[in-house]
Amino acid sequence: MRDARTWHPPAPPGGTMGEPGARGRFGDYGGRYAPESLVQACREVEEAFREAWRDPGFRGTLAGLLAEHAGRPTPLTPARRLSEALGVRLYLKREDLTHTGSHKINNVLGQALLATRMGRRRLIAETGAGQHGVATATAAALLGLDATVFMGERDIERQSLNVFRMRMLGAEVVPVTSGSRTLKDATSEAMRHWVGMTADSHYCIGSVIGPDPYPWMVKEFQRVIGDEARGQFAAELRTGVPDLVVACVGGGSNAAGTFAGFADTTARLVGVEAAGGAGAARGRVGVLHGCRSLFLQDGDGQIVEARSIAAGLDYPGVGPEHAHLRDLGRARYVTVTDEEAVGAAVRLARTEGIVPALESAHALAWVIRAAGGGELPAGSTVLMTLSGRGDKDVATFKELL
Amino acid sequence: MTEPTTLAAGAVELHLRARRDAGRGLLMPYLTGGVTPGWTDHLRAFAAAGADAIEIGLPFSDPTLDGVTIQQSSEVALARGASTRRILAGLSGLPDLGVPLVASTYYNLVLHDGPEAFCAALRRAGVDGLIVADLPVHEADELAEVAAGAGVELVLLASPVTPQDRLAEIAARSRGFVYAVSLMGTTGERAALAASAAELTGRIRQVTDRPVLLGFGISTPDQAREARRHADGVVVGAAVMRRVRDGAGPDDLRAYLTTLRQALDQECDPPP
């Protein structure tokens, strides 16, 4: 391990969640491990994003869409009754109140606007539970683009209402029958499809994964969560920042966006993974879907299927910047079980009148456990991103409760 | 081109250059390792049909550059328990087929044991070349150096949208041959050779005299003949794997590849 007497350079810029280093790197992770046929398309997305993100006109248009269409800013809600029971001060960043019901819309509006700027007429997306697919279908309808959404056959069976919702919004939903027929395979199929369609289509990746510039770009589009919360906290608390910032992590987009607002503060960052999909906590270095990061693998190097009651956490890896934050020790990654998540969802429903998405319930489950186990000193201030609303999970809750 | 790479060329490149320079159209059939119990017999059939190199797929759970046929053959092989280690053990037990073996896979499998151990294992199994579908030239440093040290020729791929300056870098840094991806898409059979194939191979010719093999969507004698007009030879994968899926044995594969061999032999005018 580290020898305290030797000099170590200060944490690289990645530790404060800025732009990636050369060749799209967050420490050793990230990069652009794309088939040669997709490299040019990735370059074009990077150039367009770099230019757009510097352009106040683009930023203004996006801010307008986020306000008028998506309902931003979202409130910061003190969870009063639950806080009292836990002995901490818990605040919820309410991404569940955005249009379409989850933080996914933040990223999708950004990418859809970028696609328009690049002259692309069609969005390609992968989806697991359907939240990113619905958000993509929504943004496409709003901006007059076509949308093709790839979804595993098993997820289509589990989430038939979201499939109908996407079709109602005018999107084409393509069932994916390969592999485990879930999110991982839908992502592979979307990439295959993009190879043949790069001239007129933009691949709208839903999380902080994929080849450079996607992990960076998606984080930037989600940064609005953390930036808003930072401002809201400054107004709410004398200390200005919470002691702890907590978010659930599948690929890790809502966590990346939340952490980005606090990476340069004293707040401790905690990412909560599903026990059956813990890329950051239990993954091993590898390359999948265009980036080097941490992935669940078997003894031969084959990617293992993730299993979680929360379809949005059903990805067998984690975004490269999370892997980097883990290595730096800047963020900590923990896991909770399906049962803990369901219990936390019920508790939030009954104490605060909010039914959270099963994904978000994972973050809450860890807060409850940490507060009960003495890991959180009494009176700690905690920000938790409530990434989505639980409507999509009502059928699952009904089966279990 | 007078770059020193010719002098340093490895077994794959020397073999392919010699055959090309003798006027022969090059044929590299592909087989997913471990896809059937007797899969190594297929390799013998490939050699007997006049293959100039043989590509052996090390199956990966998430083959993002492969179309349905090779996705399925990868799934079948993995379900049968295929792994890098077992496939290489199968190759180690083969007599010399007289043509170089080229492994193809995805980068995750290379990283699993690390590039050093992976390349050393290839060499022990008698594999001379390596294709990694998701390792573009700008990410290749880590593996290229290790592969060169181990005596494994790392083949790089070029695509129809690769800009010319990048194409020059790919051609200079590729070992064995340059793999020209004929079209913007995944592996799999197509009705006709893509128009982009001729344009791409023409652009590669401007920057290297290394052998150029065209792959993706080449499955019929007519397509092979046409491809030969532009490139030094062809890679045939999905068309082989479809036949394997449908129950073809070594004799059937040999008969099929012989039709391609004959087509390539008929068209022996050097490319323009």
- Strands A146-152, A172-176: parallel, antiparallel or unpaired by DSSP? parallel
- The CATH architecture annotation of domain A34-66+103-214 reads 3-Layer(aba) Sandwich (3.40)
Q: How many residues does chain B have?
A: 272
- Report the distance separating Cα A72 and Cα B182, nearest Å: 47
A188: chain B residues, CB-CB within 8 Å: 62-64
Q: Who's near B246: CB < 8 A, 6+ residues apart?
A: none
Predicted ipTM of the assembly: 0.94
A71-102+223-400 CATH, one of 3.10.20.600, 3.40.50.1100, 3.90.230.10, 3.40.50.9100 = 3.40.50.1100
B117 close to A (CB below 8 A): no
The CATH number of the domain holding residue B138 is 3.20.20.70
In the predicted model, what is the mean pLDDT of chain B?
Answer: 95
pLDDT exceeds cutoff 80 at A11: no
pLDDT exceeds cutoff 60 at A8: no
Strand order in the sheet with A331-336: A76-78, A89-94, A381-386, A244-248, A268-274, A331-336
- Report the distance separating Cα B249 and Cα B271, nearest Å: 34
Tokens of residue B29, six digits:
């059939």
Best of A37, A185, A191, A194 to disrupt the B interface (most B CBs within 10 Å) is A37
Nearest CA in chain B to A295: B108
B131: β partners:
B104, B155
Assigned domain for B271 exists: no
In terms of Cβ atoms closer than 10 Å to its own Cβ (0-12, 13-18, 19+), residue B234 is: buried
Of B68, B156, B159, the CB nearest to A37: B159
Of A7 and B123, the one with more pLDDT? B123
Assigned domain for B202 exists: yes
Q: How many domains is chain B partitioned into structurally?
A: 1
DSSP category for residue B51: -
DSSP category for residue B8: T
Model confidence, pTM? 0.95
CB contact under 8 A, A36 and B64: no
Task: Report percent pLDDT > 70 for chain A.
Answer: 97
pLDDT exceeds cutoff 90 at A6: no
- Report the distance separating Cα A97 and Cα A158, nearest Å: 24
State mean pLDDT over A239-255.
Answer: 95
* pLDDT score of B267: 59
- Report the distance separating Cα B158 and Cα B205, nearest Å: 12
The separation between the first and the last C-alpha atoms of chain B, rounded to the nearest angstrom, is: 17
At A203-242, the pLDDT tens digits run 999 999 999 999 999 999 999 999 999 999 998 887 789 9
Which residues of A have a catalytic role annotated?
Answer: 104, 126, 387
* pLDDT score of B9: 82
pLDDT exceeds cutoff 90 at B233: yes
B200 close to A (CB below 8 A): no
B158: chain A residues, CB-CB within 8 Å: 36
CB contact under 8 A, A188 and B84: no
B163: chain A residues, CB-CB within 8 Å: 40
* Cα A374 from chain centroid (whole Å): 28
* pLDDT score of B268: 56
Assigned domain for B230 exists: yes
Specify the 3-state DSSP secondary structure of A194: helix
* pLDDT score of A83: 98
A185: chain B residues, CB-CB within 8 Å: 62
B60 close to A (CB below 8 A): yes
Same CATH topology for A34-66+103-214 and A71-102+223-400: the answer is yes
- Strands A25-26, A29-30: parallel, antiparallel or unpaired by DSSP? antiparallel
CB contact under 8 A, A196 and B63: no
Best of B112, B166, B173, B190 to disrupt the A interface (most A CBs within 10 Å) is B112
Q: Who's near A32: CB < 8 A, 6+ residues apart?
A: A23, A24, A39, A42, A211, A212, A290, A291, B136, B138, B139
In the predicted model, what is the mean pLDDT of chain A?
Answer: 94
Query: In the block, which residue shows the tokens 């799934």?
Result: B75
Tokens of residue B146, six digits:
């290790």
Assigned domain for B272 exists: no
At A112-152, the pLDDT tens digits run 999 999 999 999 999 988 999 999 999 999 999 999 999 99
Domain ranges of chain A: 34-66+103-214, 71-102+223-400
* pLDDT score of A208: 98
* pLDDT score of A30: 98
| A38 close to A195: Cβ distance less than 8 angstroms | yes
CA atoms within 13 A on the CB side of A159: 30
CB contact under 8 A, B107 and A303: no
